[in-house]
Amino acid sequence: MLVVELLQNIIDHLLQGLPVDLRPVGQLRDGIEARELEDRFIAALQNDPARLAAMLQEHEESKHVPLLIEAYGSPREPVEQSTYIFPPVLLEKDAVNKINHKCRSLDVTLNSFFTAVKNTALVELARDGGLKRNNYSITSCHPVDTRRLMEKCSEPYLGFHVISLTMHMITPHNVKDHFWEYTKHFDNEFRKKIKGNWMIEDRAMARLLRPEGYSHEEHFAHPLPLISDYIFSNLNNPGNNIKGIGKFVQITAVNVQNFLHKAHFPFGYVLFEFRGQLNLVVGHATGTVSREVIGRHLDKTLAVISDVSNYT
């Protein structure tokens, strides 16, 4: 997002005949803090065989066939493995304002709200597909900015500083009837995991489970096993919002690119603000779940947003 804004400002200045600011915009950093935490965590586990065995078992038990694949299966016809991204959906400002007000009153984040919405939509869609249970096991992945582990700095830290945090939630079939209680519960669990740096534990466990002779090239050369339901990347924060408005240069559209067909989950959502309006984008791996099913999940997601915003 920063690069997009910088590029717009540079072109705008050039068109006006103004000098371009050549000062550094931040510090390029590696992720040594996260790696050191990961190394210490692994060392502690290796010195405690009982705890290591328990965590490995818990990690394995959290894996499951994604709900949408369990309910609807994968496309029967051979499909070239790729990622399809749906056009962005602009969320109604009135509904967003109501939701923001309700979230503040309950002290929950928009991240928790939108995760609860997608989980609710998943349950409804799974039940439509004949998968009827009292409770559903849903696993979502949430990219976490690991700059929180670095010491404070007046300039932004540049580079890729993201580790995925896994959230495993038991979700009742009537979750919509208790939507805000469920949202608050998710929010509490998410905050605990963030505070405890569970994203470091997730990455450490994945590292411990690597087979002998592991390499990234070999690992990603084939489709990965699907062990989570979806990923949700929340980019909606003041540092990421794209205004896109210059004197001569206007950014009129933003596209999302991803490689979901090389991931552990069949689909994912991105939330971001562009020109003062929240955008929600969904994409899916074409070979794992059909576009029609993901389109129905998007429709249900928007319906849940509308319903809960009307009774906030």
Residue 293, pLDDT above cutoff 90 = yes
C-alpha 33, offset from chain centre = 22
Residue 270, pLDDT above cutoff 70 = yes
Q: Are strands 135-145 and 162-172 parallel, antiparallel or unpaired?
A: antiparallel
* Angstrom distance (rounded) from CA 280 to CA 282: 7
Per-residue pLDDT, 237: 73
Q: Which of 99-113, 143-157, 260-274 has the highest mean pLDDT?
A: 99-113
Residue 230, pLDDT above cutoff 70 = yes
Q: How confident is the model at residue 300 (pLDDT cuts 50, 70, 90)?
A: very high
Per-residue pLDDT, 105: 95
Residue, of 302 and 205, whose pLDDT is higher: 302
Residue, of 239 and 196, whose pLDDT is higher: 196
Q: How confident is the model at residue 55 (pLDDT cuts 50, 70, 90)?
A: confident
Per-residue pLDDT, 207: 87
Mean pLDDT (whole number) for 26-47: 89
Per-residue pLDDT, 248: 83
Kindly give, in sequence order, each residue whose CB lies less than 8 Å from that of residue 252, ignoring residues fewer than 6 positions away.
Answer: 244
* Angstrom distance (rounded) from CA 225 to CA 263: 8
* Angstrom distance (rounded) from CA 238 to CA 220: 34
Over pLDDT 90: what percentage of the chain?
Answer: 51
* Angstrom distance (rounded) from CA 185 to CA 311: 19
Residue for token pair 């004949």: 130
pLDDT tens track for 106-119: 999 999 999 999 99
Per-residue pLDDT, 148: 86
CATH code for residues 2-210+218-310: 3.30.559.30
Per-residue pLDDT, 253: 79
State the DSSP code for 18. P
Mean pLDDT (whole number) for 43-58: 87
Per-residue pLDDT, 223: 77
Residue, of 303 and 20, whose pLDDT is higher: 303
- Six token digits for residue 198: 């569970």
Per-residue pLDDT, 226: 87
Residue 308, pLDDT above cutoff 80 = yes
pLDDT tens track for 57-85: 877 777 788 999 999 998 887 778 889 99
Q: Lowest mean pLDDT of 117-131, 158-172, 215-229, name the range.
A: 215-229
Per-residue pLDDT, 242: 67
Phi then psi dihedrals of residue 163, to 5 deg: -130, 140
Kindly give, in sequence order, each residue whose CB lies less than 8 Å from that of residue 164, ignoring residues fewer than 6 positions away.
Answer: 141, 142, 143, 144, 199, 202, 203, 231
Residue 1, pLDDT above cutoff 70 = no
Handedness of CA 111, 251, 262, 286 (dihedral sign): positive
Per-residue pLDDT, 219: 81
Mean pLDDT (whole number) for 154-179: 90
Per-residue pLDDT, 88: 93
pTM: 0.89
Q: How confident is the model at residue 192 (pLDDT cuts 50, 70, 90)?
A: very high
Please name the helix (run of DSSP H) or strand (run of DSSP E) that holds residue 223, with its range, or none. none
